[in-house]
Amino acid sequence: MDSVIAKLKKSGNIFEILVYPRESLEFRQGKLDIQSTLVTDEIFSDVAKGERVPTDILKKYFGTSEKIKVAEIILSDGELQLPKELRDDLLEKKKRKIATIISKTVINPQTKAPHPIERILNAMNTVGVIIDLYKKPEEQVNTVIEKLREQLPISIEYSKLRVNIPAKYSNSVYSILKSLGKISSEIWRDDGSFSCILEIPTAQKSEIYSKLSSVTHGEIVISE
């Protein structure tokens, strides 16, 4: 992928860096460090002309002359100039990811079944949902759900599952449970086994049953 420019303006001064676009987005999501995004660590006042910013100017406006630290500020706070084709592709993928999460979170109260992903995507287009390219999908779900209520019957129902995990899986499965829902009534037994109440969106129940059964090779016991 070709490089793009990240730009930050400070008191009328322009500071630019050359970065890789996809890596830069991952940096903004906390997935990569700044060094993984940089084509070069040089700080420019005009990339096209190759004009570099003197270290004394960096020190004046950023409080440091360390280029890596300055680049991190520019990429975090500045404007990232993405090509339209790439921006559109990334937005579409993020929109589908959000729709997938919503399909696993809400149900149609009229049928008690999840809304299909394509129905959610169509409704997102109808009500004019705006996706933020720089925010994680999970951070946008609640806002999108509220907007979708204008178009779709939506209910978020929860189920409580009693989960019993054999000792040999308890530590590894515990972190998985935390990522799946809200844990309460934890009991750690002397033999190392573990049980709890797991509260999850009802729409995800079938998927969660399958996942937990798979990671414990069918030895987990789940009841409602």
Q: What is the pLDDT of residue 202?
A: 83
Q: What is the pLDDT of residue 63?
A: 95
Beta strands in the chain (DSSP E): 4-10, 13-19, 44-46, 51-52, 79-80, 158-165, 182-188, 194-201, 221-223
CA distances from 218 to 37, 183, 191, 204, 214 (A): 43, 21, 19, 18, 6
Cα 221 from Cα 165, distance rounded (Å): 7
Q: What is the pLDDT of residue 41?
A: 93
Query: Residue ranges per domain, the chain?
Result: 4-80, 84-148, 158-223
Sequential pLDDT tens for the chain (224 residues):
589 999 999 999 999 999 999 899 889 888 899 999 999 999 999 999 999 999 999 999 999 999 999 999 999 999 998 889 989 999 999 999 999 999 988 999 999 888 999 999 999 999 999 999 888 888 899 899 999 999 999 998 889 999 999 999 998 899 899 888 899 999 999 999 999 999 988 878 888 899 899 999 999 999 98
Cα 102 from Cα 126, distance rounded (Å): 16
The 3-state DSSP class for residue 197 equals strand
CATH topology of domain 84-148: Arc Repressor Mutant, subunit A (1.10.10)
Count H helices and E strands in the chain, helices first: 8, 9
Q: Are 16 and 50 in contact (CB under 8 A)?
A: no
- Buried/exposed code over 80-95 (b: 16+ C-beta within 10 A; e: otherwise): bebeeeeeeebeeebb
Q: What is the pLDDT of residue 1?
A: 56
Q: What is the pLDDT of residue 19?
A: 96
DSSP for residue 34: G
CATH for the 4-80 domain, from 3.40.50.300, 3.40.50.720, 3.30.1250.10, 3.10.180.10: 3.30.1250.10
CATH number of the 158-223 domain: 3.30.70.240
The 3-state DSSP class for residue 177 equals helix
Q: Pull the structure tokens for residue 136.
A: 């994680």
pTM above 0.75, yes or no: no
Would 84-148 and 158-223 be classified into the same CATH topology?
A: no
- Report strand pairing: 158-165 vs 51-52: unpaired
β-bridge partners, 183: 198
